[in-house]
Structure 1
Amino acid sequence: MEEQTTSTSQRPKVLLVDDEESILNSLRRLLRGQPYDVLLATSGAQALEILAQQPVDLVMSDARMPNMDGASLLAQVRQRWPATMRIMLTGYADPTAIIKAINDGQIHRYISKPWNDEELLVILRQSLEHQHSERERQRLERLARVQNDQLKLLNSTLEKHVAARTAELQQTADMLDLAYEELKHSYVTGTEVFSLLANLRLPPAKQTNRQIIELVRGYSKAHGLDEATSRDLAMAAALYNIGKLSWPDTMMVTPSDLLHSAERERYRGYPKQSESLLMTLDPMKDAARLILHHQERWDGSGFPDRLKGEAIPFGSRLLKLAVDFVELQRGLILERQMNSDEALLYLRQYSGRLYDPELVEDFIQVCAAFLSDITLIDPDVKVVTTRELTAGTELARNLNADNGMLLLNAGKVLSAPLIEKLIAFEAMEGGKYQVFVKVPQDEPGLLQAEG
């Protein structure tokens, strides 16, 4: 292993590697005016020559290059100059290359072409800040060891000196704790940035990660979960579906209930694949375990390990509620996209079968507090069947058939003939509608839907 040292007073050196000079020129223009010294290489071999001649803080390499691809180059950089930050830049979705870069090169970030200038600059800045924090932590550790040795020499003669050194060591330990907390925070930020990049595989209407992150954070805050648990939940929410990146585009947007047998088997494997991709990163291990078990079911019928009840990690049970609530509304579970109230009724209906019954109601309360379109717990709204409808009732939400067709708009006042037609259409379709209606002024209170 070859050591490289960079003085903290020097500008960071960033090495850009791409076999297309137009790409290098674009990146160089983007970084003009930034506080970095920019080096350029058009091949992996040239990049290694530069690294052997001078210290480099960060290498950003294109994935696909002749002779030596980006994953192979970054693996060599990791082996010879492990302190150098490593980022892969690619213009196509290649799960094999991504996995190789993560496992062999232990890359710190993955950026898709065409990149967003602002996001790329943020990633570079965060990566170099992460590196600076790590160097500072190592420097403080060396300082602590030196001071500890000095303390041993002075212990027998100078009690006052001992007390002074002890105070200095405590201050150093506090600084180390602060530096480590900053590192862990950087990982949380990094996972969210990566989730935004991974979501580019999906159309906007099918993207889920941001809302799931907000829901688990809302639950963590509302229920006073400790910082470590909250952090692991946020990282798990950001990357729970990273194992789906190897799927074809059509499978990515198909509801899981409509997948064919071969596709369904692949679907059941995505939590394990997600966990495998993240286990190499030590700060991600607890979050990876939550991801592994987030498709387990309370009654033991889930996957991958058919865990049952409280054998399922708490964070996995909460993550499943958030994932299903959002994916039901995105049309990723059932063919028909539900609205938020219908999704919450679904969670209630399967409480004790798919979901932890003690978590469901708490989760619904969090959804109502953080989302503006929830009427399920509104005292002025109740949920009834078609046979409980009466003439003069006003709809509080749109009414959709099970196939997704809009039947009636919110605000519609029902007549007796219209109610009869609804009952007949429901019987013909073989469904069971849940109708959100406004409570008359002389009928206060909320009627909970039966699960």
Structure 2
Amino acid sequence: MPIEKFPAGTQATVLLVDDEPNVTAALRRILRNRPYRVLIAQDGRQALSRLEENPVDLIVADARMPGMDGTTLLRKVYERWPDCIRIFLTGYNDIDTTIKAINEGQIYRYLAKPWHDAEVLQVIEQSLAYQYAERERLRLQQLTQEQNQALQEINGSLERRVQERTVELAATARLLERANRELERSYVTATEVFASLINQRLPQSRQTNQKVIQLVQAFCQAHKLPEEDERNLTMAAALYNIGKLTWRDEMIALPSDRLNKEQRNLLRAYPGIGQDLLMALDPAQEAAVLIRHHQERWDGAGYPDGLSGDAIPMGARLIKLAVDTIEMEMGMIQARPLTRQDALKLIKQSAGRSYDPALSKAFIEIAASMTEDEDNTDKSILVLDTHALEPGMIMMKKLYSKSGTLLLGEGKMLNQRLIERLQNLESHEEGGYKLHVRRPDSEEIDG
């Protein structure tokens, strides 16, 4: 192995130990043109002193020296400087001494007297190359261990950061989900505000939207429809008659069976107009489709597109059932108002013609079980007047003014400002407000 493998810019130190000056001089001549720093010692004690004063890479020690022989010296070197390469110089007939040096001094090589200069040079060069390789191996091994330890620490740190980030992302996702629910609820509330604006144009006997919403939501909750479907159906129920705002006042007040031909044409157009009015409102696009088709009939004789059967969106079929029930109760289809029982009886008789027969049956069961003001069986819901309200309470039922305007939506958390506004509004109306509320739980307070 070539000596060039010894680190560049580093001079190896070689210690030659022999009590005969001519031997150390001969060895020095062999190493004269090599990049070594050569130290000389004439006995064992002097050699140990040299080692204590200088870092030595390789020692060549004669076997027979006065005072301390080579075997003893190399054993002491091995004990105190184990990294120093040890080479034993001995005669051909001194085999026992050589074996002892190998066993006690852990020598790397031994050279026999007389020697060949080339052999001595080769042994020293190979020994130093081996020493460098071993040192480099140990350095790389230590470096690998340190890097592995660093990687373990980094991995541990990354795992902790990933866990922390996962927790943060989960919390963020929950916040976003909550914000999204609030936003979606805001869309529904906004449509109900629009419905309240529609009511300002309609006489009180024609303000149907709130009642239609109640029927639709009762059906959704009874059949556990997905939140998105309930949201779209609620928006459609709130805005189903927005197209009627294009009518003249006298037409709004007439029952359907008293319209003339021109007015009937306007009647058939209002669902499509309602969809067009909502074209720019992206969150209401699904609801707008339901509005367009809520006057289609199961047998295809409806309007505006003459759809039939399952081609009519299911939500539109449900809206028609709710709208017709309420409008029959309020005398908007026939001149004479009907009771809920009579209206549902007509729904049942028209199933298979005007209405989806299977959906009609399920709807009638829900609508028949509802009353105008159901008893409150949920003990966590409080029914309070405005002076008993407290900030932090949550609305469990929508609150409408006497004129039908939506004042507060379900799920709204009250604050002092809202309570004072309600009390002020209440002072201008006959009778007081009754609010269905509950106190917030800890999660809502934290959120």
TM norm structure 1:
0.47
TM norm structure 2:
0.47
